[in-house]
Amino acid sequence: MSDARLDWEAACSAVDRARSILIVTHISPDGDAIGSLLGLTLALRERGKQVTPAVDGGVPEHLRFLPGADAVQPKVSQSRWDVMIALDASDEARIGDVGAVGLAQASLVINLDHHPTNTLFGAVHLVDPQAAAAAEIVYAWLERLDWAIPQTVATALLTGLVTDTIGFRTSNVTPRTLAVAQRLMEAGAPLHELMVRTLVSKPYSAIELWKHALATVQFSDGVISGVVSQEALKQAGLKDATDGGLVGLLSSVAEACMAAVFKELADGRVEVSLRCKPGFDVSQLALELGGGGHAQAAGATIDGPLADAQARVIPRLIAHLNGRCQHVRTVGE
């Protein structure tokens, strides 16, 4: 889908009427998932709502500095909620176990997201593929509700904007994205600190991981790719599968039009991260692989082993480029 589907009135009246609200986001949550979750949770609590924020496994370590992170539940028990709000999740499988409980136990589901691959699950939709981050839609919702934005809410939402746009550098940043960022800064969100904490600062273990992963890098026909094996994670002293930002490094290579990182999970499956330059689109391939995402950044979890996963995906990326990686675009083209 490329058109927005925005049921503002239904969404505003649903939260107005609701007393108990479950808020969930996507599994393996990133800064937009957690920023949106915390921002909306804190805003609804200010209005006296009973809110349960939850995501499988809880808030990742590197985002626990955010206000309200301690309140996020890694699991939920069976309960009833008037409303469940799913944030930044393109399909029902992405909201994990806590989302499955909510789908069964909430009277109404609101689906707030900015992925063009959104399946439009749920009854009420705030789905806008033009938004640079889910946090941008959360902000628009609070604006419509005419609710004041305290500093804590602003900080959480600006984290979503900063992380999903990699510091306002992605091609989906619009004047509106910058206007929202400006208002969040005016409400007290510390832009510089959020940039440093979420985009610049890395644990030393990421560098150890890169030492192994960079030795696996291949580059041909415009596609650059690398592998993060369980062995490399172990040697870097990391428990959870992460690429330590490797896909960002690979996609910064000037001669490459597409980048892929293959991360081996503990169960042998492989998480594929895909990136491409404007003018290309990796979201359809991700969807065909059983995942989803945006035109320029998408992903999927597929069967291993690693070598088979590479052999299945890389030729398809090269076929998609079809020799078009030579073309140098002029500014604004």
Q: Summarize as ranges the residues that interact with Mn ion (CB under 5 A).
A: 32, 88, 134, 164
31 part of the interface to ligand 5GP, by CB under 6 A: no
Residue closest to ligand 5GP (Cβ): 299
For residue 60, give both structure tokens: 């990742």
Question: Of 294, 296, 313, 314, which one interacts with ligand 5GP (CB under 6 A)?
Answer: 294
Stretch that binds ligand 5GP, among 36-44, 193-201, 288-296, 311-319 (CB under 6 A): 288-296
Phi-psi region of 66 (alpha: psi -120 to 50; beta: other; left: phi over 0): beta
- The dihedral built from the CA positions of residue 202, 208, 212 and 214, taken in this order, carries a sign that is positive
Return the one option of ligand 5GP, Mn ion, none that residue 34 interacts with (CB less than 5 to 8 A, by type): none
Would you say 53 or 291 has its CB closer to ligand 5GP?
291
Structure tokens at 281: 């689109």
Shortest Cβ 160–ligand 5GP spacing (Å): 12
Distance set, CA 313 to CA 79, 138, 204, 291, 318 (Å)? 42, 34, 30, 13, 9
| 300 binding partner (options Mn ion, ligand 5GP, none; Cβ < 5 to 8 Å by kind) | ligand 5GP
Which secondary-structure segment (H or E) carries 251? helix 246-251
Q: Say which residues have a Cβ less than 8 Å from residue 325's Cβ, sequence separation at least 6.
A: 221, 222, 255, 256, 257, 258
Find the binder of ligand 5GP among 118, 119, 177, 273 (CB under 6 A).
Answer: 273
Q: If binding is defined by CB under 6 A, does position 298 make contact with ligand 5GP?
A: yes
Residues 204-263 that bind ligand 5GP (CB under 6 A): 247
CB of 132 to Mn ion, least distance (A): 8
3-state secondary structure of 222: coil
Instruction: State in angstroms the smallest separation of the CB of 261 from ligand 5GP.
Output: 8
Cα–Cα distance list, 226 to 77, 261, 281, 285, 296 (Å): 40, 5, 19, 18, 18
Residue whose tokens read 């169960």? 267
Options 16-24, 48-56, 294-302, 306-314: segment touching ligand 5GP (CB under 6 A) = 294-302
What the block records as the tokens of 176 is: 């509106």
Q: Is 299 in the site for ligand 5GP (CB under 6 A)?
A: yes
Cα Rg of the chain (Å, integer): 20
Binding mask 80-109 for ligand 5GP (x = CB under 6 A): ----------xx--x---------------
Q: Give the one entry of Mn ion, ligand 5GP, none that residue 134 binds, where binding means its C-beta sits below a cut-off of 5 to 8 angstroms depending on kind.
A: Mn ion
How many whole angstroms separate alpha carbon 122 and alpha carbon 201? Answer: 37
Spatial contact of 71 and 53, defined as CB atoms under 8 Å apart = yes
Whose Cβ is closer to ligand 5GP: residue 133's or residue 189's?
133
Measured distance CA(283)–CA(294) in Å, rounded: 5
Contact set with ligand 5GP (CB under 6 A): 26, 90-91, 94, 247, 273, 291-294, 297-301
